[in-house]
Amino acid sequence: MLDRKLLYEELVRQCTASRNARFGCYQVLRNYYLFGTKDAVGAPYNKILSTVETLSSFIYSPDTLKFSLHLGTEASNDEVFKAIPLATEVAEQWRASNTHIAFGLGIRWSLVYGAMLLKILWNEKRVRSYLVEPHQFGVLREDIMDLPDQEAFTHHYTMTKTQLEANLQGNPRKKSILERVGRSDQQSLPQLSTGLSRLLIGSPVGGVSGSVAIPGQQSSFNSGVARGPSYDYSPIVDVDLIDMCDLYVWDDDEHDYQVITRAAPDVIIYDRASASMGHVKGLPPFVTLRTEFNAYDYFWGNSFVAKLTWLQDWRTERLGQIRQLITKQYNPPMSMTGGVGITEEKFLAYGIPGSRLNSATPNSKLEVHAPDLPADMFAEVQQIDAMFEDQAGLGHILQGKGEAGVRSKGQADLMARLGSSRPKERALATEESAEDAAGNILRQVQDHSDQRFQYQVPGEPEPRTFIAEQFTRDYEVQVDGHSSSPIFIEDRKHDAVTLIEAHAIDRETFLEMFDPSNLQVLKEKLKVIEKAEAAAKQAELQAGIQPKAGGKSK
């Protein structure tokens, strides 16, 4: 037992080797994203924030996302019809659990940190999803990209002692555990999080109550200028928290993860199989969210915000210098030669409108040193903004701005399609994460849900009923028609029109692909229309009118 405990401690140490170093980097990146500076002082205009918001809106949209099931070679033909209601169930679980919101927030913050994680659990009759920041996580090998390939990883969080006491109900070791947790002043892991379910945008990177911002120099733009209230959106948690750690270790014999729950300082609370906790057997309950893969051998990914920090500092510095020039133009510095006996108060009063300055010295002279403002004073700032757009791959047409030489809609659509290649690459990476999360959701439904579904087999009068557990495990959940990104919407609509004109799909499928508002209402109205058309055709046949090929009747 001692050897097993020493093994767990060594694995936790190895998985958390870079955690403190990454935390410092993440704190700076968070400040740049929220405030435009490396501290919480703030820039006059945060170009990083607007660029990240625009880019994230292009690569993911929660309103249009749909899923479909791709069956493997071992699946029977009967499974094809079962896949239709199960794909709908995935979409409903995705939205009912607010996973679509958490996923979008995670994608945005993955642009900041380089990676985020989404934890998916089953709670009664639906799934629940939680965002996990990268500093709350650790992996055994950071040179392996895929989480399922990791032999061990850790998840760090905090909880109150009362919450831990409630979780230990029925545990025979409850009293001894509560006496030992939190007794050591030197904890084995730093308290970097305030809890699993807290809202990311309302907390510091570490989530530590009373944490201080990383010191930095105040920008020249704000020097001596009255500013609004300074607030870093950090929650105040006035309660004692216990640092917790879940260590996941792959068990070759069970083909599942063994989960060891530890409380600070070194108290092992649980040592159990992952499947016994309601997780999908053989799969980690976490999904890694990334939007770019410039580094093929670094698990934590590349931060998009890190590419913009130099540009933001450059822009802030230049705006500060421009402001100084304009200020000197409105209130220029002055100098006086030969003005003997002029007091400082009289000299300063000369700047008041309507004031005059008299001097008894005959050759005294007052000079105003107003700087000349260059005609292209903001040209460099505009070039910096263009560099922001280039880093994001967002041209003028993608942002709804005009482009020189574009005179027709077709030309604009073509240029927008060609210019969206780089955001499309990020959108496809986002789809991979969405498919992993949706696949985990459907497997949770298969393991825990007793809901009954119906499917219709062509040629049979009555629908068949089944539960998700009776569905094959040989499948993949896919994002249907690249519906996760607004960039692909026009392409999907164009495909729908082409297919309906080629009579390759029916009108109900056309509505689903076009995805108009009030889709369910339109589908019900379509049934009425098709029923009326069928009745009219039947009436024509009974009247002896034979329809010709091509739809004409005689």
Q: What is the mean pLDDT of the chain?
A: 80
Q: What is the mean pLDDT of residues 68-94?
A: 88
246: pLDDT strictly greater than 80: yes
134, part of any domain: no
In a domain, 47, yes or no: no
Instruction: Report yes or no on 287 lying in a domain.
Output: no
Stretch 441-454: mean pLDDT: 93
> Which token pair is 106?
């995670």
**DSSP H helices in 134-224:** 161-167, 174-180
DSSP letter (8 states) at residue 521:
H
Question: Which tens digits make up the pLDDT trace of 398-442?
Answer: 555 555 555 555 544 554 555 566 778 888 889 899 999 999 999
C-beta of residue 429 within 8 angstroms of C-beta of residue 484: no
Work out whether the CA dihedral 513, 515, 516, 519 comes out positive or negative: positive
Tokens of 74: 């071992």
> What is the band of 266 on the pLDDT scale with cuts at 50, 70, 90?
confident
| 390 vs 120, more confident | 120
Q: Alpha-carbon distance 37 to 412, whole Å?
A: 36
Q: How far apart are CA 110 and CA 129, in angstroms?
A: 16
Residue 176 lies in a domain: yes
Range of the domain at 158: 151-200+235-280
Q: Which of 250, 280, 310 is the last residue of a domain?
A: 280
Residue 552 pLDDT? 47
Report CA Rg, the chain.
32
Q: Scan for tokens 């985020």, then name that residue.
A: 116
- Report how many domains make up the chain: 2
Q: Where are the alpha helices (DSSP H) in 265-420?
A: 304-330, 344-349, 379-392, 409-419
What's residue 418's pLDDT? 52
What pLDDT score was predicted for residue 36? 92
What is the mean predicted confidence (pLDDT) over 374-384?
A: 89
Residue 192 lies in a domain: yes
The residue type of 484 is: S
The pLDDT tens digits for 151-193 are 999 999 998 889 998 988 888 888 888 888 875 444 443 433 3
427: its two tokens: 């959108």
The pLDDT score that the predictor gives to residue 210 is: 34
Q: Is residue 173 part of a domain?
A: yes
Burial of residue 310 (CB within 10 Å: 0-12, 13-18, 19+) is: exposed
- Own/partner pairs for 356-364, CB < 8 Å, 24+ apart? 363/338, 364/336, 364/337, 364/338, 364/339, 364/340
| Residue 239 tokens, joined | 């309660």
Joined together, the tokens standing for residue 104 give 């979008």
Q: Looking at the domain assignment, is residue 369 inside a domain?
A: no
pLDDT at 363: 73
Backbone angles phi, psi at 258, to 5 degrees: -95, 125
pLDDT in tens, 131-153: 999 999 999 999 999 999 999 99
User: Is the peptide bond between 215 and the residue preceding it cis, with omega within 30 degrees of 0?
Assistant: no
Question: Is 97:126 a contact under the CB 8 Å cutoff?
Answer: yes
Whether 407 maps to a domain, the answer reads no
pTM over 0.85: no
Which residue pairs, CB below 8 angstroms and at least 24 apart, start in 179-184?
180/263, 180/265, 180/267, 181/242, 181/263, 181/264, 181/265, 181/267, 182/240, 182/242, 182/263, 182/264, 182/265, 183/265, 184/264, 184/265, 184/266
**pLDDT tens digits, residue range 460-497?**
888 899 999 999 988 999 988 777 777 666 666 777 78
Predicted pLDDT at 136? 93
The predicted structure's pLDDT at residue 203: 34
Most confident of 17-26, 347-356, 396-405: 17-26
CB 116 within 8 A of CB 131: yes
243, 186 in Cβ contact below 8 A? Answer: no
